[in-house]
Amino acid sequence: MIFDRSLQKRKTAIAYYRHSAEDKQENSIKIQQGHIYDFANKFKIDIIHEELDEGKSGLLANRPGFERLFSEWIENPKAPDFNYVLVYDVSRWGRFQDPDQSGYYEYLCTKHGKEVIYVSRGFTEPTNQLISSLETSIQRYMAAEYSRQLSEKVFHGCVKISQQGYSSGGTPPYGMTRQLLDVNKNPIRILKKGEYKQIANERVIFVPSYDSSSDTVKLIFQMYVHEKKSIFQIVDLITENTLCTANGEKWNRAKVIRILMNEIYIGTRIYNKTWGRLKQRIHKNPRSLWIVKPNAFEALIKRHDFEIAQERLYWNIPHNWRKGINCIRRIKNITKNDIINWLVNMGVDDMDSLKIFEELPIIYGVKSRINNTNNLCFVITENHRKFDQILAIGIDENGDLSGQNYFLFDVSDFTNSNYITFNDSSTSILERKIEPESIEKIIKDFIVKFTQLESYIRGKYSSLLKSL
């Protein structure tokens, strides 16, 4: 019979399932499979193949089952013909942070003549296409938002744990290992690689491993801090002793520097150095966003030795001092342009304005951050000793104009040497700190002092400079 529906060709479909580690049990593969089988039986659809991704996040498309679905079936001209791709709901298709990405993969199916059906919603009525598309868009957003909210909850949980000094995950650095603590924070045992805590309120900390790797870390600091060996000498010496890194590779300059710069070796727990949640591109966070907990666990290296290493590293790493030189050059040019323009507007010619600027006692130093304090070093010339005071500008190492500090030193503060070092939180230095609003008056006083020393300038601009 021509109208007998039982004789009509049955539709065929590929089923796709996904279940990630953070998903609830009601989204298990078995439950999804049950819903899709019931849907297929109801609408007389034959499922000719199934793809699944167990324990895979839906944030990205690079899931083995999802990729095979497209490469071997949807986009493969040699694949058996089928009509539908059956998925339990929009979130199983993916929790893409860009909803358009979810729509893109659905469009690829449509382009190749396959319709994606979310069985929790069923088929779309031809007269209801616009409402259905809007509903799908909302569900894509909700699927993405679920992951964002879950990520925020996990992040804040990790922050709280890290603020207490405990590990919130990750591999311990070379020379350190993970120690499991019970609910009362008493040591239980050292965790092996791939072993994790079993009870939620247990905690994990990093501790020295007290093996050859710990000895190597101590040896690196000993040679660098006390024996004053260069990075390349250290690499050669530990390579000669056939010592290897944690992954079995040979030592090189970058690996030694990472050891020397890692605050974990002085017992400091650091979290949130980088941002890379939701499978997005990883980038470094500024230190102001780090979670830093000093003295969180047993130190492998003495703090004093670590601080000496940081000071020496700053000047031994070309990137650092080149960056410092560029910061100084940038701020100095800004200062020079401001002062010269100001003098020119007062009637001083360009050459004389430049001569005045170059003689002014203005010095610059780049902050090097060690253990949450900004350390500075300022150097004067013998020519600066003609003045009574020195204006010192402390520059943020990133060249941030809003991160500058200004200090007014007496020349006598430099005693018999031409340099002074300090950290900008010490009491004696805080007394020397000045506000930006007072700089103009200080510069005027410097110019008056200079004109008293330079007869040519005083004679040429005597009436003008008296007005200062």
| CATH of residue 310 | 3.90.1750.20
Q: Is 157 within the bounds of a domain?
A: no
* pLDDT confidence of residue 369: 66
Q: 332 and 427 share a domain?
A: yes
Q: Is 155 within the bounds of a domain?
A: no
Q: Is 431 within the bounds of a domain?
A: yes
* pLDDT confidence of residue 5: 45
Q: Which residues of the chain have pLDDT under 50?
A: 1-7
Q: 306 and 344 share a domain?
A: no
Q: Is 163 within the bounds of a domain?
A: no
Question: How many residues would you count in the chain?
Answer: 468
Q: Which of 314, 340, 356 is the last residue of a domain?
A: 314
DSSP string of 281-325, one letter each residue: PPEEPPGGG-EEETT-S--SS-HHHHHHHHHHHHHH-HHHHHHHH
Residues 102/94, Cβ–Cβ less than 8 Å: yes
CA distance 110 to 95: 20
Using a cut of 0.75, tell me whether the model's pTM lies above it. Answer: no
Q: 362 and 302 share a domain?
A: no
| Order of strands across the sheet that contains 84-87 | 45-54, 11-19, 84-87, 115-118
* pLDDT confidence of residue 73: 94
Range of the domain at 77: 5-148
Report percent pLDDT > 70 for the chain.
86
Q: Is 95 within the bounds of a domain?
A: yes
* pLDDT confidence of residue 170: 77
Q: 387 and 441 share a domain?
A: yes
Q: 228 and 341 share a domain?
A: no
* pLDDT confidence of residue 194: 75
Tally of structural domains, the chain:
3
* pLDDT confidence of residue 224: 93
* pLDDT confidence of residue 281: 72
Q: What is the pLDDT of residues 262-296, one digit of tens each?
A: 999 999 988 888 776 656 677 777 777 788 888 88
Q: 353 and 380 share a domain?
A: yes
Q: 219 and 193 share a domain?
A: yes
Contacts of 327 (CB under 8 A, 6+ apart): 366, 395, 396, 397, 398, 399
CA distance 288 to 270: 12
Q: Is 397 within the bounds of a domain?
A: yes
User: Could you tell me the CATH number of the domain that includes residue 66?
Assistant: 3.40.50.1390
Q: 279 and 341 share a domain?
A: no
Q: Is 133 within the bounds of a domain?
A: yes
Q: What is the pLDDT of residues 66-119, one digit of tens each?
A: 999 999 999 999 999 999 999 999 989 988 888 888 899 999 999 999 999 999
Q: 77 and 181 share a domain?
A: no
